[in-house]
Structures are given as C-alpha cells and as structure tokens.
C-alpha cells in the first residue's frame, strides 16, 4: 500500500486489497452470516415470551425480577446482533444484502420494544412503596433499582400500554429519514470530479473532501469546497425532505409524550437541565471574540489579506508536514495514554493487535468515524477513515477514548447499567485528544512544529466547542421552526445555516469571509439525524479539559476519580457522574476554563511568531 501520508488520493481504495490488519475482525461477534442469522432467529422466537409476565409484575418481587432479567437478556442479544449487521452495512453502504440485514434488526428491535411496552406503564400502576419493598427483598432487583426509579421520574411522559406499544411499533418508520440520508450521502450521491493544480482528476466524495480541503494550494482548496457544496446544493430539495422527516419524527414523539418542546424531549431521558444546552449556546456566543482572535491569528500566519472559509482546514505552517503512517499513529497514541495506567495502555494495544479497528477509507465505506460498544460480551469496534494527517491521529485517539469507556463500563457493570449516557460519551474521547497533544508538544522543540501542533489544538477547540455550538444553535432553531408550523425545506435551512455561520465567523466584520455556497454545509452534517446530539461534543470537551488538567498535573486522586468515571457506565445520571469525577456542568466554569486555555495557547503562538520576526 502506498504511504498513507501522501493523502487519500494515494491510498488503496479497493477494500479487497487493503491488508487485513487495517480491517476489523467481525468474527469475534459471529463467525459468519449464518451464525448471525441463527442467533437472530433464536432471539426472534423468544421475544413473544415476554407477554407471559404481562399483568403480573406487581404480584411479587420474584416475578418482577424474572421479567426484567428476561427483557435485559433479550436486549443484550439484540444489541450484539444489531452491531454485527450495522458494521457490515457501514463497511460498504452499496451492499444491498448487508443493508437488508441492518433493516431486519431495526424491525426486530421494534417488535421487541412493542412486546416490552407493557413493562413501564405496569410498573407505574403499582404504588411506589410496593416497588421499593420488592427491591429491598429481592437481590436480583438491585441492578434495576436505578431503572425503576427513573421510570417513576418520567411518569408524566409515560403513556398507557397500548399507546406505548403503538409508539414502539413506529420504530422502523422513525429511522427512515436517517437511513435515506445515509444511503444518499455515502452510496448513491453523484459526487463531482474536478481537475486540480496537479493536472489529475479527483472525485470529491466525503472522504476525499475531508482530505483535499486541506491542500496547500489556495485555488485547489476553494475549488474543492465550492464544487463539493455546490453539488450538495443541487440536491437541496432532497436533503430538505430527509431533514424535515427527521424533525417531524421528533415533533411527533414530543407531542405524543406531552413534552413542551423537542429539546425537552431529548434532554429529559438523561435528565439534563435545559439550561445546560442554552447556557452553552449563550456562553459560546459571549466568547466569540476569543474565536475571532484565533481566526485573525490564522489569517496572519497564512499570510493572506482576507481569510475565507476555504482557508480554515489548510495547514497553518506550510513547512511542517504532520503526516503519519498507521503504525506511527498507534505508537503516538499508546505513548500519550501512559498517564492513565498500564491496564489502559495494554487494552489499547489489544484494540490494534486484535483488529477492533477498521482504519482506512474504501469505496462505499461510511464516512466519518465512530466507536460501537454494543456487543457487550465481545469488545468495542471502531470505524475510522484514516488519511495520515495529524487530525486523523487525533481522531484515532478520540474514538479509542469511546472504546475504553465502553470496554471498562462493560467489564465493570452488569448489562442493565453498562450503557453510559450520551451526555458523557464525548468526555473520554476529548480527554484522549488532550493527552495526545500534550505528548506531541513535549517531544517537539522546533518552533514551526510547535506552531503547527498548537494550531491543531486550537483547531480542536474550534471544531469541538465553537463549531458544535454553532450546529447546536442551528439545530435548536430548526426544531423551533417546526414547532411554530414553519416549513422545513432546503432553502429555508440553507438561509438559517448561512446566517448563523456568518455571525459565528464574523463574516460581516471581515474576520473570516463565509461564501454563499457554505449555506449547503448543513446537509453534509450527519449528526443532525441524531437529534440534539452535537451540543454534547462541546459540553464534553469543556468537561474533559477541566478533568484532564488535574490528571496531567500528576494528581493521583483525580486520575483515580477519572478511571472510576470510565467504569461507571450508566449507573447514575450524567450530571451526577461528572460531579463525582470533579466537574459541574450546570455552571459556566468548564467553558470559561476552555476559553482561558485557548487564550494561553494563542499567547504562546504569538510569542513564537514575535521571536521569529513575523
């Protein structure tokens, strides 16, 4: 295989020719599709047995324990089966048979949810004292104590058994917009082919766009970005329709469950105060001057009279080529994580050696990156699209943070308590990125290299705090449009997105010019189909920075609290988990600490530039 550092265009894109060591080994879940299908059919045949407990949950502690254990066992089996099917579907989105396997699992999950729909309404019918007495008398109910208490908390939004069954049956419909977007964006979209300054044609699909937008030639960057987003804009009506379907889905569930807003529905599950979301957006808007300071520093370092949006991914220091092979990336990540102890690093090594990771881009492979810890009795899996840049090394460290939280939670917690809340999901990932940048800086004295890495750190803050808060504001206003009965169409979303983006980047003040075609960038963001998810990147980053500062200072107690947090799974509400780890997300302090760190880095960069006479 050609050197990864040469960029995505030089990589082998034929999956069959990529060495196995860079591809995940799904045989750890099931040896083959036939074994998966046998397991799936066995689970399908057992789901109906849940009904034998209906009407009997309040009869005794033993019956309640039997029912919850049965529900949990089925859910664990379904999760393992779904992970296998979805990973296969994502490694080649063009494979109709594997897409069909994933759809089968969505349907089976819906059937399971419909069969289990009686449980929460029936628990609520029993008086609280009876449930408390059951928990006290039956040891098997100890692992369900938190779940049973949470049912009581959500009582006002839990419907009758027939209504819950009806909502559960709508599950396959609920994912239709997201599925349509995924196939269109990753498999069917006619991405443009353009000729760049090297005289060669380049197909600008999602993986290529993520790589080529960072080309050193400014004309190439502008051409890559404009052609990519203009192509997306040509399907504005289609993307508007899929997005409208997603928003209307959330509207339906919010109304059905009697929530005052879409945001209230999304935040009530993990018991997150609405003020945490609004405080983030308001706080980031209040700190836009710090963001604009970074953009002005980027303009100065790039030596351009006017900074454009297409300049934002270019290297800050042309003379420094931060490019890495997969093996170099592995070495840096393992070294960076040493402060977290031997068990942490040893497990990371297993992830590489035992092929938990699908590392390289290939034709039809899902774009982006993720970690999936849903195969509870196996191990987590990661999908990466590694292009050899420092940002890709950082992404690898990021996803390994998710993987380690899943690994530790699955190891330490029983299945009902293992699944950690999404609100804390990005803490471990961004924590790892913080350790990585410190490791890289500690080994580099060269001024240009330090400037490049410090610039990457600022890019991380830009992408994880300011950009995600920008997305969060767009998403909230999009849902508020629907709540007011306004149409969710491509043109309206493009206008909303462009207005917000120009404000964040100071376009009208000349800080960074946001060209018209950027209005279509919203349709490039798959996370808008994971409703009200993106704000958690920003809150998690600010939380992880506060926690990482203590760990990096050598505070053994802080390190122990952080590792306890990684083992805690979903045993408590996320706000409480983070408070025990050492950070209070209901305050402005985490964001303020992040902005202070950002300004310290910019101070150091300006000192280096002054020393260099620039």
Continuous segment of H or E residues that includes residue 282: helix 274-286
- Report the chain's mean pLDDT, rounded to a whole number: 93
Same domain, yes or no: 433 and 540: yes
Confidence band for 614, pLDDT divided at 50, 70 and 90: low
- Residues 432, 563: one domain? yes
Q: Of 7-16, 402-411, 496-505, which range is least confident?
A: 7-16
What's 97's domain CATH number? Answer: 1.20.140.70
What pLDDT score was predicted for residue 443? 82
pLDDT at 434 over 80: yes
SS3 290: helix
> Does 184 fall in a domain?
no
What are the tens digits of pLDDT across the range 65-90? 999 999 999 999 999 999 999 999 99
C-alpha 112/C-alpha 47 separation (Å) is: 6
Q: What percent of the chain has pLDDT over 90?
A: 86
- pLDDT tens profile 483-508: 999 999 999 999 999 999 999 999 99
Q: Do 44 and 157 share a domain, yes or no?
A: yes
Query: Would 17 be classed as within a structural domain?
Result: no
CA trace torsion 156, 161, 162, 166 (10° rounding) = 70
Say what the pLDDT of residue 613 is.
78
Residue 1 has pLDDT above 60, yes or no: no
Q: Identify the CATH number of the domain in which residue 275 sits.
A: 1.10.1370.20
pLDDT tens for 210-258 read: 889 999 899 999 999 999 999 999 999 999 999 999 999 999 999 999 9
Q: Is residue 14 part of a domain?
A: no
- 4: confidence class by pLDDT, cuts 50, 70, 90: very low
Q: Is residue 209 part of a domain?
A: yes
User: From start to end of 175-237, where are the E strands?
Assistant: 193-195, 201-203
CA distance 187 to 183: 5
Q: Examine the domain organization and report whether 468 and 423 are in the same domain.
A: no
Mean pLDDT on 115-137 = 94
Question: Are 353 and 415 within one domain?
Answer: yes
Between CA 422 and CA 373 the distance in angstroms is 12
Backbone conformation region of residue 510, classed left if phi is above 0, alpha if psi is from -120 to 50, else beta: left
**Assigned domain for 383 exists:** yes
Determine, yes or no, domain membership for 7: no
Helix (H, G, I), strand (E, B) or coil at 60: coil
| pLDDT for residue 531 is more than 90 | yes
- Domain containing residue 290: 197-319+451-529
100-114 residues labelled b (16+ CB within 10 A) or e (exposed) = ebbebbbebbbbbbb
Tell me phi and psi for residue 542, to 5 degrees.
Answer: -65, -35
DSSP string for 381-399 = EEE----SBHHHHHHHHHH
Angle between helix 535-552 and 556-567 (nearest 10): 140
Residue 77 and residue 113 in one domain: yes
Q: Which residue, chain included where needed, has tokens 């990021």?
A: 398
| In a shared domain, residues 205 and 259 | yes
The terminus-to-terminus CA distance of the chain in angstroms comes to: 40
Domain boundary among the residues 529, 558, 581 is at: 529
5 within a domain of the structure (yes/no):
no
% of the chain with per-residue pLDDT over 70: 98
Cα dist from 535 to 313, 550, 566, whole Å: 22, 24, 21
What CATH code is carried by the domain that includes residue 574? 1.10.1370.40
Active site residues: 399
Q: Say how far apart CA 296 and CA 312 lie, in whole Å.
A: 11
Residue where one domain finishes, among candidates 485, 510, 529: 529
**Around 57, how many Cα atoms within 13 Å sit in the side-chain half-sphere?**
25
Q: 288 pLDDT band (50/70/90 cuts)?
A: very high
Confidence label for 589 from pLDDT (cuts 50, 70 and 90): very high
446 falls in which pLDDT band (50, 70, 90)?
confident
Do 419 and 392 sit in the same domain of this protein?
yes
Same domain, yes or no: 363 and 378: yes
With helix as H, strand as E and coil as C, how does 181-249 read? HHHHHHHHCCCCEEECCCCCEEECCHHHHHHHCCCCCHHHHHHHHHHHHHHHHCCHHHHHHHHHHHHHH
3-state secondary structure of 349: helix
CA distance 192 to 188: 12
155 and 46 within one domain: yes
Both 412 and 511 in a single domain?
no
- Predicted confidence (pLDDT) at residue 199 exceeds the cutoff of 50: yes
Among residues 511, 529, 547, the one where a domain terminates is 529
Q: What confidence category does residue 11 fall into, taking pLDDT thresholds of 50, 70 and 90?
A: low
> Do the domain assignments include residue 233?
yes
Please say if the pLDDT value at position 481 is more than 70.
yes
Helix (H, G, I), strand (E, B) or coil at 507: coil
User: Does residue 258 sit in the same domain as residue 120?
Assistant: no
């Amino acid at each position: 295989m050609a050197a990864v550092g040469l960029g995505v265009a030089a990589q082998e894109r034929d999956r069959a020719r990529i060495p196995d060591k860079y591809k995940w080994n799904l045989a750890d879940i099931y040896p083959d599709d036939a074994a998966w299908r046998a397991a799936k059919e066995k689970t399908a045949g057992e789901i109906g047995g849940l009904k034998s407990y209906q009407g009997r949950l309040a009869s005794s502690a033993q019956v309640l324990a039997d029912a919850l254990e049965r529900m949990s066992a089925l859910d664990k089996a379904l999760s393992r089966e779904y992970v296998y099917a979805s990973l296969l579907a994502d490694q080649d989105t063009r494979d109709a048979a594997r897409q069909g396997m994933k759809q089968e699992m969505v349907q089976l999950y819906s059937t399971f949810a419909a069969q289990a729909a009686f449980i929460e309404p029936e628990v609520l019918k029993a008086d609280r004292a009876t449930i408390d007495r059951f928990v006290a008398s039956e040891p098997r109910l100890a692992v369900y104590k938190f779940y049973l208490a949470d049912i009581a908390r959500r009582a006002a939004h839990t419907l009758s058994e027939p209504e819950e069954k009806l909502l559960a049956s709508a599950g396959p419909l609920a994912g239709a917009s997201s599925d349509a977007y995924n196939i269109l964006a990753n498999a069917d979209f006619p991405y443009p082919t353009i000729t760049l300054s090297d005289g060669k044609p380049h197909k600008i699909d999602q993986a290529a766009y993520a790589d080529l937008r960072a080309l050193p030639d400014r004309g190439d960057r502008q051409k890559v970005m404009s052609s990519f987003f203009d192509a997306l804009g040509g399907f504005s009506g289609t993307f508007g329709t899929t997005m409208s379907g997603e928003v209307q889905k959330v509207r339906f569930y919010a109304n059905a469950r009697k929530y005052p807003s879409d945001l209230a529905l999304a935040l009530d599950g993990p018991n997150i105060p609405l003020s945490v979301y609004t405080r983030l957006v308001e706080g980031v808007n209040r700190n836009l001057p710090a963001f604009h300071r970074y953009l002005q520093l980027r303009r100065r370092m790039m030596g351009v009279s006017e900074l454009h949006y297409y300049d934002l991914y270019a290297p800050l220091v042309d003379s420094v080529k931060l490019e890495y092979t997969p093996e170099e990336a592995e070495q840096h990540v393992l070294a960076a994580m040493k402060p977290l102890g031997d068990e942490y690093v040893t497990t990371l090594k297993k992830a590489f050696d035992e092929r938990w990771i699908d590392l390289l881009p290939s034709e039809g492979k899902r774009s982006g990156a993720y970690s999936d810890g849903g195969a509870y009795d196996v191990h987590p899996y990661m999908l990466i699209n590694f292009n050899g840049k420092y940002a890709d090394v950082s992404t690898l460290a990021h996803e390994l943070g998710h993987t380690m939280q899943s690994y530790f939670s699955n190891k330490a917690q029983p299945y009902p308590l293992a699944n950690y809340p999404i609100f804390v999901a990005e803490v471990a990932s961004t924590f790892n990125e913080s350790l990585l940048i410190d490791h890289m800086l500690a080994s580099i004295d060269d001024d240009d290299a330090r400037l490049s890495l410090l610039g990457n750190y600022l890019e991380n803050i830009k992408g994880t705090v300011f950009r995600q808060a920008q997305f969060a504001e767009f998403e909230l206003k999009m849902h508020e449009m629907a709540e007011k009965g306004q149409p969710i169409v491509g043109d309206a979303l493009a206008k909303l997105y462009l207005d917000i983006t120009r404000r964040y980047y100071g376009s009208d003040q000349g800080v960074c010019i946001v060209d018209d075609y950027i209005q279509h960038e919203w349709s490039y963001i798959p996370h808008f189909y994971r409703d009200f998810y993106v704000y958690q990147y920003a809150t998690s980053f600010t939380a992880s920075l506060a926690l990482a500062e203590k760990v990096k200072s050598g505070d053994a107690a802080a390190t122990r609290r952080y590792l306890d947090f990684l083992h805690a799974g979903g045993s408590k509400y996320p706000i409480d988990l983070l408070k025990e780890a050492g950070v209070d997300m209901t305050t402005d302090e985490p964001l303020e600490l992040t902005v202070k760190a950002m300004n310290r880095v910019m101070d150091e960069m300006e000192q280096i530039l002054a020393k260099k006479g620039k």
